[in-house]
Chain A
Amino acid sequence: MIASDLVALSPLIVLSSTAVVVMLSIAIRRDHHLAALLAFLGLAAALASLRFAAAASPRRVTGLLLVDGYSLFYSAVLLLSTAAVLLLAFAYMERQQEHREEFYCLMLLAACGALVLVSSCHLVSLFLGIEILSVSLYGLIAYLRFQPLPLEAGMKYLVLAATSSAFLLFGMALLYSETGSMELSSLAKSYMGTPDPALGAVGWAGTILMLTGIGFKLAVAPFHLWTPDVYQGAPLPVTAFVATVSKGSVFALLLRWFHGADSTVSAPVYWAFVTMAIASMLIGNLLALQQENVKRLLAYSSIAHMGYLLVAFLAAGPLGIQAATYYLIAYLVTMLGVFGLMTVLSTGEEEHCELKDYRGLFWQHPVISGLFAAMLLSLAGIPLTAGFLGKFYVIAAAASSSLWLPVFVLIVSSTIGIYYYLRVIVALFSLPAEAGEREEPVRLTVPLEASFSLAALVILLFVFGLYPTPFWALIQTMSASLG
């Protein structure tokens, strides 16, 4: 390991040492403000160090990690998302009667895992990344340990994630026994290409078992069942983190894995993905239709969005990568925005995430409700928002690869989706039913750091919806580095 290796890994190093520093600072003195500040500075430093890492890229470090344009781009995206979550979480944690400082430690470690995932080019680093991320998430989801729901969600996630890891690990073993390689790129060659990849039954079984593990992390159908319970139970900032950073990093890994090779996916894997995509879009949107809890509703919505992403993922060539990236980022911005607004709105110790809690909110907090509506419209893919252009690129990429069936399902299921997004918007804007039903309107103070984060997200939402050109050019440069 030489100096430039260290430079290439500097974001990871900065991030993990910050986690240690936060931990040590807790040992000396418990101070919520200090811990949060340290974590935020760590994230900022990691983000800054991306510049130096970029100078050293592309570089393969220790055979496990590949630092190139692609991984740096996604590292930046994930670090920014984590920072957004952190800013939103501070006021939320401030209200909790827990030890609050370890939250940031776990958050930093989870981000570490996500960064490992996006740079991973080897089965070992893949598994390491997923586990670092998952183990931190167990703690984060169950962080409010005196409340029943977070605890239940944490337990469920622990059991199921462990199960899925078992699938993943077993799949890796089978693949290795068949091919003798743990390199993602050489593994990809063995089931890419038509007509007949030279892969035996064991190898195929290994691939499918690995996809099961990854599908669980992405929460695509039919591996989606855990999502609503965990989303509902986890504290709001953690839900936002699960929905964005965790899924985004796994998706980035998948994208690199399958798009790194030149040829197209072979038929069995292709059909497995098509099935997952279609099932996710339909099931996600249908399940959300009559949902009364907004967190659960967003969980189902995120299942559907993963389905849309898989459609872009299936599209061949650089257009597929670009469309998937654009959509993923639009999704991250919007989901962070929605959960951020919900975090800001849930004053007091209990979260109020039932649809009826939002009824008539507009008449009390017009700005927040307006932004909420804008975010939901973006999720629904209404023009002028990031979600619309993202969906446009996805459909364009899929159509240019003649993926007519997925495109058809995408259009039908997004139409169904508009219904439940509008249901929330209608609730926001409806007149409060009876005066006596609601208690006195709560005086809402949006903390400074959260409003900063929200403002950035809203601006991005409209910039990506109205003027995508510079950003699209950036994505094109990034996708070129993937070869």
Chain B
Amino acid sequence: MLNLLWLAPAFPLAGAAVLALFGSRFPRKLVSLLGVGSIGLAALVSFLVGWSFLASPPPGNAFLLPLWTWMDAGSFRADFGLYLDPVSLLMLVVVTFVGFLIHVYSTEYMRHDDGYARFFAYMNLFVASMLLLVLGNNLLVLYVGWEGVGLCSYLLIGFWYRDPANVRAANKAFLVTRIGDTAFAIGLFLLFTHLGTLDIQQLMQRAQSQWEPGSGLAIAAAALLLAGACGKSAQLPLQTWLPDAMAGPTPTSALIHAATMVTAGVYLIARTQALFRLAPPVQLAVAVIGATTLLMAACSALAQRDIKRVLAYSTISQIGYMFLALGLGAWSAAMFHFMTHAFFKALLFLAAGAVIQALHHEQDMFRMGGLRTELPVVFWSFVIGGSALAGLPLLTAGFFSKDLILWQSWAGPNGNIWFWLCGMAGALLTSLYTYRLIFLVFYGPPKAHVAARPGLAIKLPLVVLCVLSIVGGYADTPPHFGGTPALSNFLNSTLPALEEVHVGPITEVTTALCASLMFAAGFSLAFVLYYRRRVEHPSETALARFWSAGWGFDQLYDGVFVRPFIWLAAVNRNDVVDAAYAGIASAAQECSRVLRLTETGRVRWYASGLALGSAVFLAFVLLTR
């Protein structure tokens, strides 16, 4: 059964190819069938593979499916193989299943769009690339998937390319992530030149046997991979592209910019965790980046008025939690949060899409209101997804996964009170901005006319994701609440369990209580501000504007990098280097002009040319012989 693994990326890839080539000539029904069906089959395959993996675990709890030798030149050899272990299995199932739900949703959401087939071709290609990224047995295959998802993200952000703003957003996303990708590529070269392989498992073994913990090479390699992860996962300082990426269609935002692709950085670090453990300073940096990002993004989410941008900043903030967990060595906690986040954030985005479509593409929360009765399914989706995001205690998935991270941010060997406090503050802010959104959109007087109500293809995925956002948390419940950490145990064969070194004065119970308290505080504050007092206008203070603009990073980068570069380009308008080549060209033209004088058309000149040439050769040969 495990040998069927290759079908998981093959179905979406085939779907993408067929749709790209012939999609524009197919009727919409067929396009939907192909686009959704291919992902459905991939999801089916991944369930079958997952079931077989759980029922009879392969030796070593890992399975390698070698497909072919990709390249073999001298000492360089790269195999093309798929590698399945608990981590990639989790990713595989989440990506295909959430991807499937989002594809179903898209059939209705995109039904009036001219680029219907194009959309599904891109989305299928995205899922194929993501699965390649997740399943690749060596870093080169992973890199192909990595660039593939980057490409699809670019294509989908700029999907409505007739609006220049969308194209700018797509370019921005592509360029900013490119910085990270370049670092990642350099990291690959470094790893290969020093360890002689790109196979991930071999690479980790060799790194552990050849490199001392804390050695310079390990730190450099891990830092380069971290830069790649930061770019893809929109972490500080490369986070600026994600809010603008909301220019794409909403299903895209749900699939790529919330549930799956942006967590590729998390996956990369988890996959290469052995390397990061050899580089303690880098691992600490991961935690610091995560903690800083989660706070800054949460503040920014608080000041947004565009419903999708709130969710975008919230995504950055939640991935910050995952990075915090990774940096602390709480690997399985990060993967757990990845899973629950995929469920509730996809849910929130899809629900937001339903709101936006119902209100004629209105995205400003301050022009919404009172939708609770108009769109009940969407309302309940938001309540459930938002509560999971904010961490409603004991009931929702987000609570369990966040609680695990919060506890380990104190208990782990890298943990300390500051990380714990950051996590707590983040929890407060999360709860506040989530309920701010819900109160603004669904309560108060209606401000906009509801034009269209969601149909079955939209409601069904919402309901399924609602269920998952609640039950997903029970995959891993903490022992002190009488639960079993099933997921952590499952992942343990790949990701080492966290050593709990700090025990008092903060305990698991206090953490859980504090987190619940933070949730309650955020909720009450939002209730008072946005339900009772019903703030009708966004705050216009300097701080709010600063947060709303994402802490001024765009302006900063604009001033430090973009403007000087444009200035330099303007100075070098007449390309200094090009002048040399232009000189060669004009010299050739000049030679040509002079040589043409020899073509007189006169026979006597031609004949004397014959004689002259002969004479020169004669003289040359007779003199040099």
Residues of A within 8 A of B (CB): 155-156, 159-160, 163-164, 167, 199, 201, 204-205, 207-209, 211-212, 215-216, 221-223, 225-226, 228-229, 267-269, 271-272, 275, 283, 286-290, 416, 419
Contact = CB atoms under 8 A, between A and B. Distances in A.
B610 A229 contact: no
Interface stretch (B63-71, B410-418, B598-606): B598-606
A208 B606 contact: no
Contacts of B610: 160, 163-164, 167, 212, 216, 223, 225
B471 interface: no
B617 interface: yes
B589 interface: yes
Given A163-B607, A289-B589, 16 more contacts: A160-B607, A160-B610, A201-B625, A225-B605, A225-B610, A228-B599, A268-B620, A268-B621, A269-B621, A272-B620, A272-B621, A275-B617, A275-B620, A283-B595, A286-B588, A289-B592
B599 A287 contact: yes
Contacts, number: 90
Contacts of A289: 588-589, 592
A94 B593 CA distance: 39
B616 A271 contact: no
B596 interface: yes
Nearest to B600: A225
15 contacts: A160-B607, A201-B622, A204-B621, A208-B617, A209-B614, A223-B614, A229-B606, A267-B624, A268-B624, A272-B617, A283-B595, A286-B591, A287-B595, A289-B589, A290-B589
Contact of A204 (B593, B599, B605, B622): B622
B613 interface: yes
Contacts of B621: 204-205, 207-208, 268-269, 272
A174 to B, nearest CB: 11
Interface residues of B, number: 28
Given A216-B610, A222-B612, A287-B596, A416 B588 contact: yes
Nearest to B623: A268
B17 to A, nearest CB: 24
A290 B622 contact: no
B618 interface: yes
B603 A205 contact: no
SS class, residues of chain B in contact with chain A? helix
A156 B595 CA distance: 20
Top 9 closest pairs, chain A to chain B, by CB:
A222-B613, A289-B592, A212-B614, A268-B621, A225-B606, A225-B609, A286-B592, A208-B617, A286-B591
Of the candidates B598, B603, B618, the one having the most CB atoms from chain A within 10 angstroms of its own CB is B603
Given A272-B621, A286-B595, A159 B613 contact: no
Interface string B497-530: 0000000000000000000000000000000000
A207 B598 CA distance: 26
A287 B618 contact: no
A422 to B, nearest CB: 13
A290 B614 contact: no
A269 B624 CA distance: 11
B588 to A, nearest CB: 6
A115 to B, nearest CB: 27
Contacts of B589: 289-290
Contacts of B609: 222-223, 225
B479 to A, nearest CB: 66
Of the candidates B585, B596, B599, the one having the most CB atoms from chain A within 10 angstroms of its own CB is B599
B617 A159 contact: no
Contacts of A269: 621
A225 B599 contact: yes
Contacts of A223: 609-610, 613-614
Contacts of A226: 606
Interface in B216-246: none
A209 to B, nearest CB: 6
A208 B618 contact: yes
Nearest to A224: B609
Contacts of B606: 156, 160, 225-226, 229
Contact of B607 (A159, A208, A272, A416): A159
